[in-house]
Structure 1
Amino acid sequence: MLGAKCDLPTPTTTNDQQQPWHQLKVELHEQLISGMDFDVLRSVDPERLRAEIRRGAEELCSLHADLLTRAERNQLIEELVDETLGLGPLETLMHDPTVSDILINGAKCVYVERRGKLERVPVQFRDLDHLIGIVQRIAGRVGRRIDESSPMVDARLPDGSRLNAVIKPLALDGALVSIRRFPSKPMTTGELLQRRAAAPEMLDLLAACARARLNIMISGGTGSGKTTLLNVLSSFISQNERIATIEDAAELQLQQPHVARMETRPANLEGNGAVTARDLLRNALRMRPDRIIVGECRGAEAFDMLQAMNTGHEGGMTTIHANETRDALSRLEMLVGMAAPELPMWFIHRQIASAIHIIVQVARMSDGSRKITQISEITGMNGNTINMHDLFVFKQTGVDAQGQVVGQFHTTGIPPQCAERLSRYGLQAPIAEQRPLDAADRLQSLRIR
C-alpha cells in the first residue's frame, strides 16, 4: 500500500466538489434513504431494488428540474443510486476492466494500478466520513465491522474483489483502503504466453506436474501473480476430482464442478469465534478430498499441510511469500517451526523434502509485467540440506528504450527427476537441453490444450 501522503497536485475540481451541487446531492440522498427499511430491502432482488431506487431518485430530481440541466440530472441520479447501493465515487473504477488495484490514501487521494503501473485518478470523496461510511457499508454486508474500537477489516466484495481497510486512530490521515480486483474469467495458458509470462515448455511441464498429482508451491511477492498462476495450474486438475480450497479471502476461480470452498473467519470483538486456516485444513481432511489447495501458506497451517501431503493427499497446491525458490523453503521452515517448535530442524527439512516437489517463482518486473522467473525441483536430502535444482529460469538482460524488460527464458539442461512419475501417468517431461526458449512459440507445440 502506498504511504498516506499524496504530494501530487490535486486533480482538477469536478462538479461533485462544487458547493451547491454537493449540498443538493447530500439533501436528496438523505431524503432517498429516510423512508427505507433496510431489513426488508435485504430480501429484495438486487436488480429490482436498483430499479426502485432509481425511480425514487428520478422523482426527487424532478422536484429540482429548474436547478438542473438534463445532463446534470442524469448524472445526479446515477450518483444517488451509487451512493445508496454501491460504492459511491468508486463505482466507475470498479467497472473498469483495466483496473487491478484501487488504493485510497484518505478522502482526496486515490490511485489505481493499470497493467502493472500505478497512476493517480481524479476520484475523491466528499470528506473522511463519506469514505468511512462506504467502507462500513461494505464490511456490514459481509458480516464484518470497522470502527475506532476495531479499526482494521478484511472483506470480500460481491464480485470477488478483496478489500482491506484501516481507519483512525491507526491510519494517521483518517483511512487507508486497498481493493484488489480479479478478472471475471481466470487467465488461460494462451494469455500467459501472449503476455510473455512464460515459455511453452515451462507451462507444458507445470501442466504435466499438476496432472501427475505432484505437490506444487508458488512463490512470489505481493501482486506478483501467485493467485493468477494458481488458477491456471488448477485448470489442469481432472473434472472428476473433489477439490477442497482454503483461503483467508476467497480469490480462487476453479472451474471444476466439484469444489468445496472454505474461508477463514476472524474473531469477534470479544475475541471469540475465530476459525483459522489450520482449523479448516484439519476439517478438510475429513471431507474426502482428492486434492487440497491452500490459497496462501502464512501460518501454522503450513505444518498440517505438509502432514497432509505426506499422508496420501497428493496433488496439493499453495502459495507463499518469498523472493526466490530457495527463500520459499526457508520461509516454509520458519512457518512449520513456529507451529511445532519442539520439532528438530532436520525433521522439518525431511518433511518438506518429501512433501513439496515443485516450486515456481513469479515476479512483477520493473515494467509492471509478471513473469515466471524460476521453476525448481526438490529432489531429496543431502545430509541436513534440502536438495533443489532449477529446471527453468528467466534471465533479464536489460531494459529497452520504452522501459520494457528485455530477457529470455532458459532451460538449465537438468533432466527432471519427476520424469519417471510423469511417465506413469502417460505424460512426458520437456526434453532437457540447455538453451534459451522463445516465449512466443506457437501453442501447437503444447500438450496442455
Structure 2
Amino acid sequence: MKYMEIYKTKKEPQLDKTEIQEYQKIKEKIIQQEINNEKSIINKDVIHELITKNTTNHKILNKLLHDIQGYGKIDDMINDDDLEEIMIIGSKKPVYVYHREKGMMLTNIKLNNMEIRQIIDKIANNIQRKINKQSPILDARLDDGSRVNATIPPITADGPTLTIRKFRKNPYTIFDLINKNTLTLNLAAFLWIVIEGLHIRPSNIIIAGGTGCGKTTTLNTISSFIPQHERIITIEDTLELQIPHKHIIRTETKPPNIENKGEITMDLLLKNSLRQRPDRIIIGEVRSNEAITLFTALNTGHSGMGTLHANSTYETITRLTNPPMSVPNIMIKSIDFIIMQKRIYHPKYGIIRRITDVAEVVGMENNKIQLNTIYKYNSVNDSIKYTAINCNALNKIAYLTGLTYKQVHEEIHEREKYLEKYHDKNMNIEKVHEIINNYHQKTL
C-alpha cells in the first residue's frame, strides 16, 4: 500500500508581541489607504513603501505581503507551479493538494473559519462578486488564471470550502506530453495531419475523459497543429486555453449579476462566434444545449474541437445524444475523431495520464453510431499503437489532395521524424508553435 506523501510549506517566522503590534498598526494603515483610494488590491510597491517608512523588519514585510497582497497561509501553494489543485475542505482540517508528479498529498497547513472566509471574500471582492447565505457558491478565477470554486454554509456543513485549480505558468507543449508518454511521436504526427488536414480537410475532434485526466492540456497542446493563417475563436466557462496563435479571439461566459441579469452562456457565445467568420471553433468543455449549436456549425462546414466528460468513446456518443445535449444521431457524423484520455494507476509508474483510444466516427448502422478504433493503448508495454486497417479521414485527405493513401501515411512518418528532431529540446509553447508553423510553410 502506498501512503499519501506530506506536502510541507515554509513556516512563517513567528512574530513576537511587539512585532504583532507593529504588524497590526501597518496593516491598518494599508487598509485605510485602500478604503480612501477605493482600490480592491493594494499595489506591491505601495505596500513596500508603507512598510519601509515604518519598519525594516523583514518578518513583518513578508507577513504583510502574504496576508494583504497574497493569500495568507496558502500563498506559497498558489505560487508553486508543481501543484495542480489546492483543496480546503473545512475549518481546522488539513489542506490537500494535487501534485503534478506525486498525486494527492496532505499538507501541514490548517485554517480556521475566519482564515478561509478572508481568502474567499478577497477573491470575491477582486472580481466584484458576493458570496453569502443567499448565494453560497462562488465560481471565479485568480489573476493568474487559476480556477476557483468556493462554498459556505448552509450548503457545506463543516464550514467554508475552497478549491483552486491551478494552471501552469509555462503551458505544456506537445513535446512535454510525448516525453511524459501521454502520447507517442507517431500519434502526435497523426494528429498533426488530421488537425491540419493538409490545409484542405481538417478533422473535427472531441477529447473525452474524466475529471483531472488532462483533457484541456491535450486540447491546448494539439491546437499548436492548427495552421497560423487560420482564425480561431475559443469559448470557455473559465479561460484556460493558452494557444500561441496570432489570429485568435478568446471568449468567456459570464454569470448573472446579483439581480440575476446579464448572463452570457456558452450557447450565446457560440452563436455569436458563427457571425465572426471563424476557421476553427474551440470549446473548452461541451456540457449542455450548446452542443446542438456546435454540431449544427460542424455540419455546415465549420471546423472545431472541444472536450467532454465521459468514461469511454461510446459513452461520449451516449452523452452527446441524450439530454441535456440531445444532438441527433445524424449530426454526430460531423465529428471525425474521439480521443479518449484517462488518469490511470500503473504498477511501475504510479498515477499516469494516457491517451488510451483514438476512435473514428465512421457512420451509422441501424440508427447506431459506428466507431473504428484507430489507436489503442496497451498497459503492458505502456504504449499506444496504430491498429486500424483503414482510416476514413486519411482517405478523404488523400482524395481531396490528389495523393494516394500510402503517400498520406508517408507524410505522417515524415512529420514523426521532424518531431523526433525536437522532442528532447527544452522549448516553450511559443517556440514549439514556431517550429510547427515552419513546417506548415513548407507544405503550403
Whole-angstrom distance in 1 between the partners of 2:185 and 2:52: 55
Instruction: Quote the residue 2:249 is aligned against.
Output: 260
The aligned runs of 1:292-371 (5 Å cut-off) are 292-314=281-303, 316-334=304-322, 337-338=323-324, 348-353=328-333, 355-366=334-345, 367-371=350-354
Q: Does 1:123 align with 2:109?
A: yes
TM-score normalised by length of structure 2: 0.82
Q: Secondary structure at the match of 2:375?
A: strand
Q: 1:388 to 1:39 in 2, by over 3 A?
A: farther
Q: Does 1:220 align with 2:209?
A: yes
Whole-angstrom distance in 2 between the partners of 1:113 and 1:222: 13
Whole-angstrom distance in 1 between the partners of 2:9 and 2:78: 21
Instruction: Quote the residue 2:51 is aligned against.
Output: 57
Whole-angstrom distance in 2 between the partners of 1:268 and 1:189: 39
Instruction: Quote the residue 2:172 is aligned against.
Output: 187
Q: Secondary structure at the match of 2:351?
A: coil
Q: Does 1:411 align with 2:386?
A: yes
Q: What amino acid is aligned across from residue 313 of structure 2 in structure 1?
A: T
Q: Secondary structure at the match of 1:296?
A: coil
Q: Does 1:203 align with 2:200?
A: no
Whole-angstrom distance in 1 between the partners of 2:6 and 2:420: 47
Q: 1:236 to 1:8 in 2, by over 3 A?
A: closer
Q: Does 1:247 align with 2:244?
A: no
How far apart are residue 257 of structure 1 and its match? Answer: 1.3
- Preserved contact between residue 246 and residue 262 of structure 1 (Cα < 8 Å): yes
Q: 1:74 to 1:300 in 2, by over 3 A?
A: same
Whole-angstrom distance in 2 between the partners of 1:25 and 1:128: 25
Q: Secondary structure at the match of 1:122?
A: strand
- Preserved contact between residue 6 and residue 106 of structure 2 (Cα < 8 Å): no
Q: What amino acid is aligned across from residue 97 of structure 1 in structure 2?
A: D
The aligned runs of 1:67-86 (5 Å cut-off) are 73-86=57-70
The aligned runs of 1:149-188 (5 Å cut-off) are 149-188=134-173
User: 2:28 aligned to 17, 27, 31, which one?
Assistant: 31
Q: Secondary structure at the match of 1:364?
A: strand
Instruction: Quote the residue 2:219 is aligned against.
Output: 230
Instruction: Quote the residue 2:82 is aligned against.
Output: 98
Q: Secondary structure at the match of 1:179?
A: strand
How far apart are residue 259 of structure 1 and its match? Answer: 1.1
- Preserved contact between residue 270 and residue 290 of structure 2 (Cα < 8 Å): yes
- Preserved contact between residue 147 and residue 238 of structure 2 (Cα < 8 Å): yes
Instruction: Quote the residue 1:434 is aligned against.
Output: none
Extract unaligned runs of 5+ from structure 2: 411-415, 424-434, 440-444
How far apart are residue 140 of structure 1 and its match? Answer: 2.1
- Preserved contact between residue 148 and residue 167 of structure 1 (Cα < 8 Å): yes
Q: Secondary structure at the match of 1:250?
A: coil
Extract unaligned runs of 5+ from structure 1: 1-6, 63-72, 341-346, 398-405, 432-438
Q: Render the CA deviation track for 1:265-284: whole Å, top value 9, x for unaligned.
A: 11223322211101111111
Whole-angstrom distance in 1 between the partners of 2:209 and 2:224: 20
Q: Render the CA deviation track for 1:343-366: whole Å, top value 9, x for unaligned.
A: xxxx8111112x110000111122
Whole-angstrom distance in 2 between the partners of 1:25 and 1:302: 57
106-115 or 158-167: bigger deviation: 106-115
How far apart are residue 161 of structure 1 and its match? Answer: 0.9
Q: Render the CA deviation track for 1:172-227: whole Å, top value 9, x for unaligned.
A: 12111111111122211211111111111111111111101210000010110000
Q: Secondary structure at the match of 1:233?
A: helix
**CA RMSD after TM alignment:** 3.1
Q: 1:283 to 1:77 in 2, by over 3 A?
A: same
Instruction: Quote the residue 2:37 is aligned against.
Output: 40
Q: Secondary structure at the match of 1:79?
A: helix
Whole-angstrom distance in 1 between the partners of 2:32 and 2:59: 23
Q: What amino acid is aligned across from residue 119 of structure 1 in structure 2?
A: M
User: 2:362 aligned to 379, 382, 399, which one?
Assistant: 379
How far apart are residue 23 of structure 1 and its match? Answer: 5.3
Q: Render the CA deviation track for 1:301-345: whole Å, top value 9, x for unaligned.
A: 01110001001112x0010000111111111112xx4356xxxxx
Q: 1:39 to 1:254 in 2, by over 3 A?
A: farther
Whole-angstrom distance in 2 between the partners of 1:134 and 1:14: 19
Whole-angstrom distance in 2 between the partners of 1:391 and 1:286: 35
How far apart are residue 86 of structure 1 and its match? Answer: 1.8
Whole-angstrom distance in 1 between the partners of 2:332 and 2:218: 22
Whole-angstrom distance in 1 between the partners of 2:282 and 2:95: 34
Q: What amino acid is aligned across from residue 92 of structure 1 in structure 2?
A: D
Instruction: Quote the residue 1:400 is aligned against.
Output: none
Whole-angstrom distance in 2 between the partners of 1:274 and 1:411: 45
Q: Render the CA deviation track for 1:37-85: whole Å, top value 9, x for unaligned.
A: 34736499x7xx21221232344445xxxxxxxxxx3233112122112
How far apart are residue 24 of structure 1 and its match? Answer: 4.2
Whole-angstrom distance in 2 between the partners of 1:383 and 1:209: 28
Q: 1:441 to 1:111 in 2, by over 3 A?
A: farther
- Preserved contact between residue 57 and residue 81 of structure 1 (Cα < 8 Å): no
Q: What amino acid is aligned across from residue 360 of structure 1 in structure 2?
A: I
Q: What amino acid is aligned across from residue 133 of structure 1 in structure 2?
A: Q
Identity fraction in percent: 31
Q: Secondary structure at the match of 1:36?
A: helix
Q: What amino acid is aligned across from residue 364 of structure 2 in structure 1?
A: M
